[in-house]
A and B are shown apart, each in its own frame.
Chain A
Amino acid sequence: MAEILVLKSVSSGYGRAKVVNGIDLKLAQGRSLAVLGRNGTGKTTLLNTIIGVTRHLGGAIEFEGRDITRLAPETRATSGIGWVPQERNIFRSLTVEENLTAVALPGPWDTNRVYAMFPRLAERKRNLGNQLSGGEQQMLAIGRALMLNPRLILLDEPTEGLAPIIVDELMAALKRIIREEGLAAIVVEQHAQKILKLTDDSIILDRGSVVHAAPSRDLLDNPAPLELHLGVAGKH
């Protein structure tokens, strides 16, 4: 299967600080990758680097065979990379509906499909972004990324800080996106056990480098690398 994303010795960071250190990575179309690691190991920076909001310090990034290393974030986004950042960054002045439609691009994902996936958003479509709960904001952030009709979606700790019942709802949505829709995905997540069940492959980062790469199923069957690099066998 052809690769949708290739990272070749990519290094990046903020200002003079190098956070991601020479990472090589290949992701095939329709495949999903879990990015695991302790806090401060470069997981979020890796996603930020792929979307282009960090300082590029070396290496090359290819998306669908095209070198995007020097492209602006907006060009990468419209080329087919959706990003759901850790902070969610909902546009507070826009309603739920406007948050979705402001960036919509033609394709299978439209507001009706997003509302079908997240009925809570349909109920609150006239509410402003700053009137939503944390879970609703996360649903909106995912929905908004889908409205770009991306071929690759980057999800940065999508369940962080959410109530268990909301986490379950989101995980069901992620399962549909990753497993049923066949969208390529990279997911940074603290809940290793949960995300490993959804993804095809996994990597563990430490100090900005990949220290372990394996199919997710292998990590679930043999969690020793999780214990070694994360200290525990992943949060449940």
Chain B
Amino acid sequence: MPTKAAVSRLSTLGRWRLPEILFWLAAAASVPLLTEYHLVLTEIAIIALFAVSLDLILGYAGIASLGHTAFFGAGAYAAGLFAIHVTNDPLLGLVAGAVAAAILGFATSFLVLRGADLTRLMVTLGVALVLGEIANKAGKITGGADGLQGVFMAPILGRFEFDLFGHVGYVYCLVVFFVLFVVARRIVVSPFGLSLLAIRDNPLRARAIGIPVNARLTSVYTISAAIAGVAGALLAQTAQFVSIDVLAFHRSADALLMLVIGGTGYLYGGIVGAVAFKVLQEILSVWTPQYWTFWIGAILVAIVLIGRQRIGNGVMGVWARLTGKGGAA
């Protein structure tokens, strides 16, 4: 149990900084100011939440995963099936998605604990592939390759009905995203979060100074799965349809790409990456519909070669000049 002094120091570390506050104010401002973009912003909020969930295990616990979409898909299918067969209340659907993904995450965490990086990549990839095939074959339940149809959601809190232009859906996704981001942020600045960094740095040493490594990794993997499940549930509810694509490999790869673009281990990397990825996708797919994936790949290679640190330093330099007092955060 951490001492009171340790907890109070961590509270200081967890204090919100100006750039963070400005970021969330800008996100809130997008509700009235960017009404014509609400559909794409909804998508960004969902994939950003998914990327944040991956950052929890990759950036903080050092668990590389190529199959994180297993939890995204589990959450999406659970929320969809829950809406069809139990109740179509959105908030209860989110809980169903989170619980289903958390159970799957907890069960598979023991496989992930058994190996090092390469093993983990293969195990996580394998779990997602197996789930994808199950979803494909269990057509009577999941709709198979045609996807799960007939997902109709009740108004949020009995008052706010999902509309065709995605206005309500965006506000709903943004609020859920913010709440879960605050939870994730609280986790990473807690003694639990610090112990994850210690495990990532040196698992053997972490064990020898009293950190229960396996229990911590299992916990964060389960929490991450639950958040990914909520992201999947949000997609199912806002799209009112669950495509088998929610379990496709490219979703896991996209989330990793977002973290490569935005950086790991500070939560905002997933958001920056998601925004950049989606904006690039939108721009490039309009500019060159056939070759946009080529350009995404080329930009990714450029980021890796130039170094995100250098790009980040440039951005922080501009920020410092604008504010006149050195880089923040």
Contact = CB atoms under 8 A, between A and B. Distances in A.
B205 interface: yes
Interface stretch (B22-30, B192-200, B287-295): B192-200
B6 A111 contact: yes
Interface of A: 51-53, 72-74, 77-78, 82-83, 85, 89, 91-94, 97-106, 110-112, 129, 144-145, 148
Contacts of B182: none
B158 interface: no
A110 B208 contact: no
Contacts of B204: 53, 73, 89
A74 B202 contact: no
B9 A148 contact: no
B2 A104 contact: yes
Nearest to B212: A74
Contact of B208 (A53, A94, A98, A104): A53
A89 to B, nearest CB: 4
Contact of A78 (B2, B13, B210, B265): B210
A101 B209 contact: no
A73 B13 CA distance: 29
A89 B205 contact: yes
Given A74-B210, A148-B210, 9 more contacts: A53-B208, A73-B208, A74-B207, A85-B205, A89-B204, A94-B201, A103-B209, A104-B2, A104-B191
B4 to A, nearest CB: 8
B186 to A, nearest CB: 16
B1 interface: yes
A151 to B, nearest CB: 13
B10 interface: yes
A73 B197 contact: no
A159 B211 CA distance: 26
Q: Nearest 9 pairs between A and B by C-beta?
A: A77-B210, A101-B6, A89-B205, A102-B194, A78-B210, A73-B207, A91-B201, A104-B6, A91-B198
Contacts, number: 93
A44 B197 CA distance: 26
A101 B6 CA distance: 5
29 contacts: A53-B204, A53-B207, A53-B208, A72-B212, A73-B207, A74-B206, A74-B208, A74-B209, A77-B208, A83-B208, A85-B208, A89-B202, A91-B202, A97-B9, A98-B197, A101-B9, A101-B194, A102-B191, A102-B198, A103-B195, A104-B2, A104-B3, A104-B5, A104-B6, A106-B1, A110-B3, A111-B9, A129-B201, A145-B209
B203 to A, nearest CB: 10
Interface in B1-59: 1-3, 5-6, 9-10, 13
Contacts of B198: 91, 94, 99, 102-103
A53 B204 CA distance: 8
Nearest to A79: B210
B213 interface: yes
A101 B2 contact: yes
A101 B197 CA distance: 13
Contacts of B2: 101, 104-105
Most buried by B among A82, A93, A148: A93
Contact of B5 (A82, A93, A110, A148): A110
Contacts of A112: 5
A167 B210 CA distance: 27
Nearest to A92: B201
A77 B194 contact: no
A91 B206 CA distance: 9
Nearest to A109: B3
Contacts of A104: 2-3, 5-6, 191
A101 to B, nearest CB: 4
Contacts of B13: 98
Contact of A91 (B1, B197, B210, B213): B197
A101 B213 contact: no
B124 to A, nearest CB: 23
A102 B2 CA distance: 7
A101 B194 CA distance: 9
Contacts of B191: 101-102, 104
A92 B10 CA distance: 18
Contact of A93 (B197, B205, B207): B197
A83 B3 contact: no
A72 B215 CA distance: 12
Contacts of B1: 105-106
A89 B265 CA distance: 20
A111 B194 contact: no
A103 B210 contact: yes
A108 to B, nearest CB: 11
A100 to B, nearest CB: 8
Contact of B209 (A72, A111, A144): A144
A73 B3 CA distance: 21
A149 B207 CA distance: 16
Contacts of A91: 197-198, 201-202, 205-206
Contacts of A97: 9
A77 B204 CA distance: 12
Contacts of A103: 195, 198, 209-211
